[in-house]
Amino acid sequence: MKKLFLMLLAIALVGSFAFAEVTGVEAPSVSGSITTTFGYNLDLEASGFNNDASVDVVVPLAGGSATGAGSGGVYAEITISDIEISLSVDGEDGDDEVSYDASVSAKIVMGALYIGLGEPDLSFNAVELEDFQDFNANVKGTGGISLGYVTDAFSFEVGVKSKEDYSADDAEAAVAEEDEWYDTTPEEDASSADFANLDNNYLFGLNASITAGPAVVDVYAAYDPSYTAADALMGFGANVAADFGVATLDLGFDYVTVGDDYGMDLSAELGADVGVGTLTVNFLMQKWETVVPGLLEGDYMEAGLTFDAALADELTLVLGFTLEDLTADEMGWEATLEAAYDLGAVVPYLETGYDKDGVIPLTIGADFPLVIDNAVLNVEYASDDVADFDNNKGLFTVGVTVSF
């Protein structure tokens, strides 16, 4: 790891000169922190120290967007952006990670029309819930192509992907790792076939976006004719986001069906600027009639109200109230409070709440910026339920964090 760190550091030093003339390239950055905390668990009557350290090194090789294109009415275009190498060291016994990030896209442009080369986006999770993310994780393929049309106010793209490509590699490993939703090959043929697309299965999808005044409407759809051995998957979603200056509106809808089973969700959020802060009202509804693994059957509905205020330059306040499981025989509810006050030499804060079962979580503490640069002392007490103090006496901690 030390050799790798030195290599990346060398790249950063050289890169700062080698790429100095490239537009949009940011300078390499190094950041990190270490925190030493002493804590006492009032429930377990246990105490001890905890050390937490992290280091992040980022070496951008190209930023913004570097585009190469031909000329004339019909031309080929390739865009490479956000190329960087990152090194993260997390904790004394944590995971060290080296990541390489880049975005590459290519298209053949014919005026407003284009042919996209590469894997198209077949997601349909407009409300961005885990249930639909599980479906989207399975609507995948190894490669594909798309056809699109784009103007300033409208864009439309249809795409197709193959579930696997035409090659065959490690047959035994392929059969062992095959997903439940996709039977790549009969097991008895494993010696001669693996993840190759022998069944010639393909995925299809589209997405469109329309801008009309302050509103943007996005529509998504995906179709997998071989989601399971017996049933196809069809999913679609839509999102409307509007910004009126003093108010914002966000609406989302998703629907998915596999055979006779289906699931849907609907969300709405309205935010309004009320001078001293922002008032937000939200609503979520889910309905499931499905036996697809990983999904729950039934209905769920909740509504919430949040007030986020900056009552002064030093004081921030967040009030929340949520009605939970509105379709149940006994509806749930929860009220929450978060507050912080910056006094300069100390920043006290409080987080608490109360629900229908009488549970009162409590976190109270303070940050003390030390006279030493980049150092902060934190003192905190936290309990999951102070109303049941005998079983939730809580945790008291004192920690010092040094960051750079």
Torsion 157-162-167-170 (CA) sign: positive
Residue 80 falls within a domain, yes or no?
yes
**How many independent structural domains does the chain possess?**
1
Strands, DSSP E only, in 5-94? 29-41, 46-62, 66-69, 74-90
Which three-class secondary structure state does DSSP give residue 264?
A: strand
Pairing of strands 362-369, 375-383: antiparallel
- Among 55-59, 176-180, 206-210, name the one with the lowest average pLDDT: 176-180
On whether residue 74 sits in a domain, the answer given is: yes
| Residue at 94 is within a domain | yes
Please report whether residue 230 resides in a domain: no
Kindly state whether residue 185 falls inside one of the protein's structural domains.
no
> Quick one: average pLDDT of 104-110?
82
Full domain range(s) for residue 70: 1-38+52-104
Task: Decide if 196 contacts 168 (C-beta within 8 A).
Answer: yes
83 within some domain: yes
Say how far residue 217 (Cα) sits from the centre of its chain: 21
Q: How high is the pLDDT of residue 52? A: 80
Tens digits of residue pLDDT in 211-249? 999 999 999 999 988 887 778 889 999 999 999 999 999
Give residue 223's pLDDT. 92
**Does 378 fall in a domain?**
no
Q: Is the pLDDT of residue 176 over 60?
A: no
The pLDDT value recorded for residue 209 is 96
Using 50, 70 and 90 to split pLDDT, how confident is the model at 349? Answer: very high
108 or 298: which carries more pLDDT confidence? Answer: 108
